[in-house]
Each structure stands twice: as structure tokens, then as C-alpha cells.
Amino acid sequence: MKGFLKKKRPADGYENIFSAEPARNLYYFCKDPGGGACDVCRMQILSKSFFLMVLSVLFKGAVGFFSGSQALIAEAVHSCADSVTYGVNYAGAKGAKGSKVWQSVLIGAIMLLLGVWVCADNAEILIVGNPARPGLLSLVIAVSSVYVNWLLYSISDCANTRNSGDQNIFMCMVQNRTNFFSAVLAASGILLSELGFVSFDPFCAIAIGCLLVYGSLEIFEQAFADLPSRVQLDRATVFLPVGCLAACIVGFFAYNISGILESRSMVLLPSQGATTASPVDGVLGRAHYFIIINGNDGTTETMLNNSRRVRGDVSNDLVAIVNARKVGVVIAKNVGKEMFDDLRSEDVMIYYLTGDAAVGDAYQDYLGGNLEVARTPNVERGFGRGWLTPW
């Protein structure tokens, strides 16, 4: 196994992991091409898969969180699940070979539930319109992940072929194959998002979640195949609690989505005066007034902005108003970075108004779909955190 990630040297007798042709392996990692050392390869691919997944969680999780890439976060969640399941798999593989149904069930259940979570979470992002543009660093990490996962899949596929019937290595192969395809999806989603198609990032994250679900079902099927006389009992015993947990996950996100969509009927606009005939104020956090329009019944609420002359950051004050009034939409001319980040963290949609308009006219433009959705802040800063001067 020494040097199993190095380039292959031409040699006869190496089995091709993709076909039956000899001497065409991309990597040499067999101590004995005849198969005598397969058990060594079996254990090392399990351990290396585990440690590489731990590193993947750290890198992809950190970059995905700070860049806002849902595909990379889904990849990190995927890797986190694999870190747990590879650990279970490796511990089980140290024992006798053969069927270990409990390991397969545990690994399959973790993959299934996390797959459902990833799908539901990103479906919420698509429905409520909250995708972010990831950045080039996310793309670099995703492309690197494609290469690493391809290596792991190639090795585990060969090990699975030579250890036919070994459930531990089969599960490892399934997970590495799923990881490879999910890494390709993540890189594709981030690339398309960088090209301006921001919805592809969460869309590819949903596809990654579906791959997790598919891989879990494949593991379940393999586990139950060894127990033909108890298939029905075992399937019911496993899928009933796991299915209930999956339904709870879907219900949780469905409840969140309904609440967010309901809040979209409450629209806040900064105003220079106390009526909807007043001009929209050019600043947001330091506007003279806030006017909140309820789209369900057409009523309006006018609030004097008591934070208008406060020094320092006033983003938290506006967020408190937004939460108290269950506001889901903010229309403004200018939004600084601190304000933008705080509002988006509350799933508030922001729309930019270009030019001068009365509050009522700006609201009608919003209803007519004539306003631009804010993807980034459009000014360098407001008073903001640590700033003592306005725009």
C-alpha cells in the first residue's frame, strides 16, 4: 500500500479498476497484483477515507460558511456524515469479515437523514429566494475535492472488486462514489453561480442531497440482501423510525418556509415623512421614518426612527423592528454591508429602488416586479460598525 496515491508505473499484471484490460491502472497501490495483500489495501483505504473526510469537513465547512456557498456547505455536511460513517465502518472492518447489518443500517440511516436535511434546507433557499454568490476560493476548494474523491473512489472500487461480498468495503466504495459525484456537482454549481446563475448553487446542493439518499438506499439494499428470510421484518423495523425522522425534517423546513413566505406580505420602506406620499429616504438605518405596509389588508404603520442620530452601528435596531413586526421585505435606495448582512441573516429580502419615488409608488413597483433584488450591498458603508461618518 505504500505510495498508493502515486502515479502508476507501467507494469504487466495490474488489474484495471475500470475494465478487464491489464497494465492500464492509473495508480499503483497493490503490493501484490495477484490479490494476496488485498486485506491490507482494504484497511488502508478505509482509514485514509476517514482522515481525508475529516479534513474535508474543516476546509469545505469553513469556506462554505464564509462564502455562502450552499453547494460547498452541502459537501461539508456530506463529508461530516462520512467522517462518522467511515469511523463506524473502519471499527467494524477490524473484526471478522462478512455481513454486519447493524453497521449498514446505521450508516444508511445517517446518510438518508442528512440527505433529506440538505434537500429540504436548499429547497427553502430556492423557494424564499436567498442564494448567495460563493466566490473563487469556493471553486478552488470544490475542484480540489473532485480530484481527491476521484482517487478515493478509484481505489475503493478496486478493493471492492477484489473483496467481493465484503460489506465494509462495499459501503466505503458507495460513499466514495457518492462523494465524487457530489464534488462534481458542487464544483459545477459554484462555477455557474460565479457566472451569474446564482440559483444553481443551492440547486446542485439539492442534487448532492439526492445522491446521499440514493447511496443510503443502495446500502440498505445490500444489507437486506443477506437476510432473505427476514427482509420484510427488517425493512419495517428500519424504515419506520428513519422515515418518521425524515418526515419531521421535511415538516420543520415546510413550517419555516410557510412562515417566511407569510412575512413577505410585510414590507418596510425608509421614508422622509410620515405618509406613503412622502419620498423614500436615501438612507435606511438613519431614515426619518419607517413605513410598514401590510400586503394582506393594505394597512400601514408609521414609525419614527429613534436611532437616526445615534452614533455607531444601528443595524441591530432595524433588525429588532423587522423581527418585532415580522417584516419579510425591505425596499431601500442604499444598503451598507453591515445592514445588508444583518437583514439577510434574518431571511429578509432586500430590493433596490433606483431614482426618486414616493413610498406608495415604490411599493407598487415592488408588487409589479419592477424592482431589482439586492444580491450585494450597493454602497461602501453607512455609519456602520466602527464608522463615525455617513455615506
Q: Is the pLDDT of residue 358 over 90?
A: yes
pLDDT tens digit sequence for 215-257? 888 778 777 776 655 555 566 777 788 889 999 999 998 888 8
27 - beta bridge partners? 7
pLDDT grade, residue 42 (50/70/90)?
low
List, in sequence order, the alpha helices (H) in 94-135.
101-128
Give pLDDT tens digits for 179-217.
888 888 888 888 888 887 888 888 888 888 888 888 888
pTM above 0.85, yes or no: no
Question: 266-373 in CATH: which number?
Answer: 3.30.420.130
Give the three-state DSSP class for 374. Answer: coil
**What is the secondary structure of 58-94 as a DSSP string?**
HHHHHHHHHHT-HHHHHHHHHHHHHHHHHHHHHHHHT
Distance separating alpha carbons of residues 37 and 335, to the nearest angstrom: 63
Q: CATH 1.10.357: does it fit domain 38-263?
A: no
All CATH 1.20.1510 domain ranges of the chain, comma separated, are: 38-263
pLDDT tens digits, residue range 366-388?
988 888 888 788 886 654 444 33
Q: Which residues contact 205 (CB under 8 A, 6 or more apart)?
A: 70, 71, 73, 74, 118, 121, 122, 186, 189
Q: Which residue has the higher pLDDT, 152 or 329?
A: 329
Phi, psi of 288 (to 5 degrees): -65, -45
Cβ atoms < 10 Å from Cβ of 380: 10
CATH 3.30.420.130 domain locations along the chain? 266-373
Mean pLDDT value of segment 62-90:
74
pLDDT in tens, 109-145: 888 888 898 899 888 888 877 676 777 888 888 888 8
**Structure confidence at residue 13 as a pLDDT band (50, 70, 90):** very low
Tell me the per-residue pLDDT of 266-278, one tens digit each, with 9 for 90 and over. 999 999 999 999 9
Region 327-343 average pLDDT: 89
Q: How far apart are the C-alpha atoms of 222 and 318, rounded to whole Å?
A: 54
Angle at alpha carbon of residue 83, lines to 81 and 86, rounded to 5°: 105
Distance in angstroms (rounded) separating the CA atoms of residues 343 and 331: 12
What does the pLDDT read at residue 289?
93
**In Å, how far from its chain's centre is CA 365?**
33
* pLDDT value at 20 more than 50: no
